[in-house]
Amino acid sequence: MRKTLAFILFLAAVPASAGWKFNSWTVYWENDNFGYGRKSDRFYTNGVRITAQFSDPTVVNWRWVSGVRDWTWNHFGGDTTVVPVASVTTIFGQNFYTPQDITIPTPQPLDRPWAGVLYAGLSESITDPDLHQMHIVELNAGILGPGAGAQRVQKFVHNDLGFSNHDPSGWSNQLKNEPVLSLRYQQIRRVPLLVRGDTDVLDVVPEFGAQLGSPQTFANAGAVVRLGYHITGLPIGIIPGAAAPSAVHRIELYVFGGGEARYVPFNATLDGGLFNNGPEANQPERFVRDLRVGVSARYKKVRLTYTVVARSAEFHVPAGAIENQRFGSFALTIEPFTGFK
């Protein structure tokens, strides 16, 4: 745990030492208690992600960054007359997963395995100045298993913060320690549908991408529709740490809805890990769907986004159990706006 925290501090120091300007940060917290309707600790029960973005819109000092930027833009960007903007984001996160009944201390072979993942990484975002399209390349490394600290965090949230009266009792059955490494590419495009003045009132934001790695390997595609007042940038729920225009209005408010489909040939938290023969979920599903709705509000540089996600079954649950899940997500963002109308 201490080594991972030291690693993320190192990642944060590298862009700063290279002369990159601190741009924005976002803190995400996802939890089943933040959803609406029924509450349960089953399946994906908690996730935290912290990102800090650094950018230099005029000079790219890292040779590997400029190479990735130029290759990606020339092959996928389309308009080679536009000079793309590169941003580097440091990432730190933790996710954990539990079976439906967390009070059972013995193994539950027909349910989801207990698992925690702790990770840190770097991503590079490449976008046009008007933010109509974005390409992101993300590299993460971390640990799956007891070293991720999920047991300690869940007991603290339940017992000390009072999120639940149920003591999580089955962490002795969690997946064993093993390293995780992943590489992800994502492309996002913003298509204005209704514009008033100098800002969007209605737009659609399609995305697609893929990840190759030991925690998960998948391909995904989806879209989000936004309707509101002075819409800027890209949806926080799609790409963490997205850049944004500098000339914006003081207040922004919009609602959104959309979905995503993923083909997941491997998921370590369902398939028993990659290097260890750990407990597996019962017949993992390879096609998973998310539906999400939410609201995002900003005043000057501070934005708060709330999202509710309904996820389809990720494995065959025991007879009579609820197979899908619902959770909520809060994202608090300090964005890089420099002027307001």
* Mean pLDDT computed over 210-234: 93
CA distance 51 to 275: 29
Q: Which domain holds residue 49?
A: 2-340
Tokens 């800027």 correspond to 232
CB 260 within 8 A of CB 289: yes
327: β partners: 309
156-177: pLDDT as tens digits:
877 767 666 777 888 999 999 9
Q: Regarding predicted confidence, which is higher, 154 or 341? A: 154
Residue 196's pLDDT is 86
Residue 59's pLDDT is 41
Residue 224 reports pLDDT greater than 80: yes
Residue 67's pLDDT is 56
240-257: pLDDT as tens digits:
444 455 557 889 999 999
Residue 323 reports pLDDT greater than 90: no
Residue 126 reports pLDDT greater than 90: no
62-73: pLDDT as tens digits:
444 455 556 655
The number of domains in the chain is 1
Residue 318's pLDDT is 72
pTM for the model: 0.86
298-319: pLDDT as tens digits:
998 899 999 999 999 999 887 7
CATH at residue 99? 2.40.128.140
* Mean pLDDT computed over 57-86: 56
Look over the chain and give the mean of its residue pLDDT values, rounded to a whole number.
Answer: 82
